[in-house]
């Protein structure tokens, strides 16, 4: 048994759940955290892979147990957390890593595939996170790391996946606000690594060198789970691409702010024609300028 609420010793003696840990990023996180002293629940719906990773950790002399529950089901997600409590006496850390993706243009998308991605990538984070929070709060705190993606800014052909990852960022900030006084920190990581998810996307594979291995992101997750090293850090979205580490800016209200007692459609049209049209935001991960903004800027370029 470990003390999930104990502090002051890094990850030594802490109990951590890592979802989607049967391969790729999740496996790298689970192995790294175990070597750092944490007792780990290795969760993955691919049972042979979950058991393989748990066995790999145990064979190296560290505590690990496999879970094959699906995060998409609220009862099964709760069972992952309860397994951690039963095995190790509590839960100190949660890494919400389980995820699905696929590529499709919007007019070719399939509702069943879209639903499956939402159920794992978003509802899975919610189900497992709520179960962990209900255990962490009475114990005095803990740390949750939600795995998001740079795609949360918008990316071609993976709109549903990107939407779930954007929602995970918003959820992270909301939970951070709600849980700060409970001693529970919540942060999100946007990793870029050469994994099986990248292999299935020709676009992603072109922009992700093979040396960007998942283990290069693991130290950031370790840092965020360590209450000593990352004390006071919550509500942050942090991107790690291997060589690059930076904070991702959160949405904000952009100046100028126009005031009017009442806005009718003609007044809104005038506002965009005369003022706001020059302040439109580039959109998506590639920062594409809206066509109206391109027309607005064109005279300035030719002047």
Which residues are known catalytic residues? 161
Return d(Cα 128, Cα 45) in angstroms, integer: 14
Give me the residues paired with residue 43 across strands: 67
Sign of CA dihedral 166, 222, 17, 177: negative
Return d(Cα 300, Cα 286) in angstroms, integer: 22
């Amino acid at each position: 048994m470990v003390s999930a609420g104990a502090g002051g010793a890094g990850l030594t003696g802490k109990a951590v759940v890592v979802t989607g840990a049967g391969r790729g990023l999740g496996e790298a996180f689970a192995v790294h955290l175990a070597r750092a002293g944490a007792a780990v629940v290795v969760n993955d719906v691919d049972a042979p892979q979950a058991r393989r990773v748990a066995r790999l950790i145990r064979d190296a002399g560290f505590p690990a147990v496999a879970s094959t529950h699906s995060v998409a089901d609220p009862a099964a997600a709760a069972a992952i957390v309860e397994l951690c409590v039963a095995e190790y006496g509590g839960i100190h850390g949660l890494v919400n890593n389980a995820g699905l993706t696929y590529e499709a243009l919007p007019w070719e998308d399939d509702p069943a595939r879209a639903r499956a991605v939402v159920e794992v990538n978003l509802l899975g984070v919610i189900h497992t996170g709520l179960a962990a929070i209900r255990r962490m709060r009475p114990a005095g705190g803990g740390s949750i790391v939600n795995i998001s993606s740079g795609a949360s800014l918008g990316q071609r052909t993976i709109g549903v996946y990107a939407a779930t990852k954007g929602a995970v960022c918003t959820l992270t900030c909301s939970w951070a606000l709600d849980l700060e006084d409970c001693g529970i920190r919540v942060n999100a990581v946007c990793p870029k690594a050469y994994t099986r998810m990248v292999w299935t996307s020709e676009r992603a594979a072109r922009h992700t060198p093979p040396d960007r291995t998942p283990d290069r992101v693991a130290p950031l997750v370790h840092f965020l789970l360590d209450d000593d090293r990352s004390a006071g850090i919550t509500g942050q979205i942090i991107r790690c691409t291997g060589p690059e580490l930076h904070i991702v800016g959160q949405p904000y209200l952009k100046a100028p702010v126009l005031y009017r007692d009442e806005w009718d459609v003609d007044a809104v049209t005038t506002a965009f024609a005369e003022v706001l049209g020059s302040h439109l935001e580039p959109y998506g991960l590639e920062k594409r300028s809206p066509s109206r903004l391109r027309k607005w800027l064109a005279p300035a370029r030719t002047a």
